[in-house]
């Protein structure tokens, strides 16, 4: 863990403390209690009223408002809007009706429309709009923007088209352009942007931000370039922040640097603008320049939660998960309250470290803050528990999520698939359909992989057809990879090959690799050789394909072919990825290679393995030498199998953890069949659950059996 983060922190300037300092109130009440004259009294009441509103003390504001003799219409307006922001529409309407009719002006009518929209009551908003005596462009823009803000584009368009052309000002056009972008209608936004009679800085910023949000970051940067180069419209910090966001998304370092220079030039980089700082931190992080990101962070005076989260996320993006979690801890120490985004990023870093213990600590902090059942934190917790090997906890968190979205359902379905709980995955999908949540391409990937890992071929065929034809989901190459995988694993190797050959897009090396893997399971050398040939044409350095083919030859004891593959690997400079397994204990990762003797507890680990070997023999275990994969003497292969990396990690785990606790081991390659047999028995001997996550899935070993049912 890093002892010191590479940036300086000025705690006096954190947002929380700045806000608190503002809250120190002046004793205004003394002014009311001792008035010298009627006019002084009214002035004091007005002042106190405004002060209460400013500090969001709505009841106190109302009490003072009631004492003001003949309040000015502007005070009525402020009062009703305050009620709207408190989601109290009936009281806002009450105040509106109290405005004397001779002073009720267009501004108060517009404010009441706005108040209805804030409270989500569009019927009242439209009724007021119809009833008001004089509409101006602000009345129209308010209602158009209101509809767009809740995705009701058709109604917004109806008002926009009904609005007299002469009344449409630049703000109205801007509202439409921005609304189209926010609702994924970027082509309509571009059409209006070209049609509008004049464009100001907000028009340009809207289209730049909109293009960026809709996956057109490169075009956004072109628009920014045109704005600066050809329009003469004065640029704002918001425009530059949007441009920087686009540069960050496509990691365009050159464009981002130019924008940073502009920010300097216009004086936006003095450290007081959190938007500028957060966008700079993110930009440098996306360009893999964490030193620069840290420098910007250190120079930021106004460090709010977004700036902190930008740094935390940036470290995560760069696989510096320990540093990310250190930032999370630091922000808490500086009284910056983490929000859902901070938790999401911190939990992602726990996944990156595969560190369940840290994940549980962050989960506890989330519970304290009441964020556990929110959809963002809940989804991240589901992923964290699932990827750290605890699918039961993932399901528990999932059930608690208040309003589940498609990501929640996908996360839990994919989690069940990875843990081999295929039936659960399918049951959850049924519930998802019943709750009316629309599935997407990730749902199908999750379902197909659940079927693949549980041998449910017919179900997979149904899903593939249902998603492809009935709900017209565009099938991606990922889906074909899954379908070839499930066909192959279920023994339909020829059909899998036929599907790979007949795909609407050309199969990539991943498709052929899963087919080759299935050939390894079902010992189909003919298809394997054809699949391997395809892979070597596309990816000559694919070590996994060489290893799979070599293993296939080895399991058939065709040692001359094994030697040929090895020579070919050597000739092409392909290096086999060494197998390694690791276990995380108290924040430390203990990693082992096959026959490793570098760990400080090596002697004890090998003693434990010998003891386990004796117990295994007593239970009738005989090493399966087809997994030795080397042309060596039988005695030697037995020894090599006994010291595979996962066995060393398990032996170490047994020595270092309390009896009865679940042991979780990670492996970079697939666990071999012989180790799989041995670990089933080891779990029985030591009477513990052993979870092994290999490159394919999670295996839960308990009482002599594995959750995968020997099917993986």
Partner DNA sequence: TTAGGGTTAG
Residues at the interface with DNA (CB under 7 A): 46, 72-75, 77-78, 81, 105-108, 110-111, 114, 136-139, 141-142, 145, 169-172, 174-175, 178, 182, 200-203, 205-206, 209, 213, 236-239, 241-242, 245, 248, 274-275, 277-279, 282, 304-307, 309-310, 313, 317, 339-342, 344-345, 348, 376
Residue with tokens 């329009």: 231
The DSSP bridge pattern shows strands 698-702 and 690-693 to be antiparallel
CB closer to DNA out of 38 and 658: 38
Burial 19-37 (b: 16+ CB within 10 A, else e): eeeeeeeeebeebeeeeee
What is the edge-to-edge ordering of all strands in the sheet holding 690-693? 588-593, 580-585, 663-667, 690-693, 698-702, 705-706
State how far the Cα of 157 lies from the Cα of 171, in Å rounded to an integer: 15
Shortest distance, CB of residue 491 to DNA, whole angstroms? 40
CB closer to DNA out of 191 and 567: 191
Shortest distance, CB of residue 235 to DNA, whole angstroms? 8
CB closer to DNA out of 113 and 544: 113
CB closer to DNA out of 239 and 439: 239
CB closer to DNA out of 81 and 665: 81
* Tokens coding 236: 């704002």
CB closer to DNA out of 56 and 577: 56
> Using an 8 Å Cβ cutoff, are 532 and 511 in contact?
no
CB closer to DNA out of 336 and 417: 336
Residues for the chain: how many in total?
712
Shortest distance, CB of residue 669 to DNA, whole angstroms? 29
State how far the Cα of 122 lies from the Cα of 143, in Å rounded to an integer: 9
Q: Give, for 279, the enclosing helix (H) or strand (E).
A: helix 274-286
> Using an 8 Å Cβ cutoff, are 683 and 703 in contact?
yes
Shortest distance, CB of residue 430 to DNA, whole angstroms? 29
* Helices and strands, number each (H, E), in the chain: 38, 6
Shortest distance, CB of residue 173 to DNA, whole angstroms? 7
State how far the Cα of 261 lies from the Cα of 557, in Å rounded to an integer: 66
CB closer to DNA out of 85 and 626: 85
Shortest distance, CB of residue 170 to DNA, whole angstroms? 4
Shortest distance, CB of residue 458 to DNA, whole angstroms? 37
Shortest distance, CB of residue 50 to DNA, whole angstroms? 8
State how far the Cα of 230 lies from the Cα of 562, in Å rounded to an integer: 66
* Tokens coding 266: 């216009």
Shortest distance, CB of residue 145 to DNA, whole angstroms? 4
> Using an 8 Å Cβ cutoff, are 525 and 531 in contact?
no
> Using an 8 Å Cβ cutoff, are 110 and 133 in contact?
no
CB closer to DNA out of 296 and 629: 296
Q: Give, for 692, the enclosing helix (H) or strand (E).
A: strand 690-693
State how far the Cα of 301 lies from the Cα of 574, in Å rounded to an integer: 51
């Amino acid at each position: 863990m890093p002892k010191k983060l590479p940036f300086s922190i000025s705690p006096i300037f954190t947002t929380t403390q700045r806000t608190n300092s503002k809250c120190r109130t002046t004793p205004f009440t003394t002014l009311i209690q001792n008035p010298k004259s009627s006019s002084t009294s009214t002035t004091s009441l007005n002042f106190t009223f405004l002060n209460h509103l400013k500090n969001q003390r709505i009841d106190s504001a109302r009490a003072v408002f009631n004492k003001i003799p003949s309040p000015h219409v502007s005070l009525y307006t402020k009062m009703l809007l305050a009620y709207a922001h408190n989601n109290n529409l009936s009281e806002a309407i009450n105040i509106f009706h109290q405005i004397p009719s001779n002073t009720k002006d267009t501004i108060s009518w517009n404010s009441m429309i706005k108040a209805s929209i804030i409270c989500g009551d569009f019927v009242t908003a439209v009724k007021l709009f119809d009833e008001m005596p004089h509409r101006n462009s602000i009345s129209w823009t308010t209602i158009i923007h209101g509809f767009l803000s809740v995705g009701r584009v058709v109604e917004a368009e109806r008002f926009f088209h009904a609005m007299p052309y002469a009344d449409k000002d630049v703000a109205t056009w801007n509202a439409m352009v921005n609304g189209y972008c926010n609702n994924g209608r970027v082509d309509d936004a571009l059409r209006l942007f070209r049609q509008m009679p004049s464009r100001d800085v907000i028009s340009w910023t809207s289209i730049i931000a909109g293009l960026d949000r809709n996956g057109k970051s490169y075009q956004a940067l072109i628009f920014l370039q045109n704005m600066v180069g050809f329009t003469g419209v004065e640029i704002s910090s918001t425009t530059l922040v949007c441009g920087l966001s686009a540069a960050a998304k496509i990691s365009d370092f050159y464009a981002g640097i130019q924008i940073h220079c502009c920010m300097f030039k216009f004086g936006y980089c003095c450290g007081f603008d959190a938007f500028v700082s957060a966008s700079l931190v993110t930009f440098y992080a996306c360009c893999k320049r964490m030193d620069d990101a840290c420098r910007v962070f250190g120079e930021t005076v106004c460090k709010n939660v977004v700036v902190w989260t930008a740094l935390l996320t940036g470290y995560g993006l760069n696989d510096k998960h320990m540093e990310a979690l250190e930032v999370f801890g630091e922000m808490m120490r500086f009284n910056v309250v983490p929000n859902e985004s901070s938790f999401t990023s911190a939990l992602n870093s726990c996944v990156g470290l595969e560190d369940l213990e840290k994940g549980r600590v962050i989960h506890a902090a989330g519970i304290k803050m009441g964020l556990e059942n929110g959809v963002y934190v809940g989804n991240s917790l589901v992923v964290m528990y699932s990827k750290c090997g605890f699918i039961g906890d993932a399901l528990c968190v999932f059930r608690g999520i208040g309003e589940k979205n498609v990501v929640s359902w996908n996360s839990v379905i994919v989690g069940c698939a990875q843990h081999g709980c295929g039936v659960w995955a399918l049951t959850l999908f049924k519930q998802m359909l019943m709750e009316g949540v629309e599935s997407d391409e990730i749902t199908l990937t999750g379902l197909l992989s659940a079927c693949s890992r549980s041998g449910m071929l017919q179900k997979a065929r149904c899903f593939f057809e249902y998603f492809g034809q009935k709900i017209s989901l565009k099938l991606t190459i990922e889906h074909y990879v899954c379908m070839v995988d499930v066909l192959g694993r279920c023994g339909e190797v020829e059909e899998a090959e036929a599907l790979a050959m007949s795909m609407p897009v050309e199969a990539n090396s991943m498709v052929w690799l899963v087919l080759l893997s299935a050939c390894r399971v079902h010992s189909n050398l003919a298809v394997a050789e054809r699949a391997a040939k395809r892979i070597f044409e596309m990816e000559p350095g694919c070590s996994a394909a060489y290893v799979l083919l070599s293993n296939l030859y080895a399991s058939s004891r065709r040692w001359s072919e094994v030697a040929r593959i090895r020579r070919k690997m050597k000739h092409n400079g392909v290096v086999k990825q060494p197998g390694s397994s690791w276990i995380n204990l108290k924040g430390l990762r203990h990693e082992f290679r096959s026959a490793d003797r570098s760990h400080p507890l090596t002697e004890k680990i090998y003693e434990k393995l010998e003891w386990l070997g004796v117990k295994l023999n007593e239970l009738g275990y005989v090493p399966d030498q087809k997994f030795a994969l080397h042309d060596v003497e039988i005695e030697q292969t037995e020894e090599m199998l006994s010291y595979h990396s996962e066995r060393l990690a398990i032996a170490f785990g047994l020595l270092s953890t309390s009896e009865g606790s679940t042991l979780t081991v990670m492996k970079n390659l697939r666990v071999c069949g012989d180790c799989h047999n041995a670990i089933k028995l080891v779990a029985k001997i030591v009477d513990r659950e052993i979870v092994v996550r290999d490159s394919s899935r999670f295996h839960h070993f308990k009482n002599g059996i594995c959750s995968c049912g020997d099917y993986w």
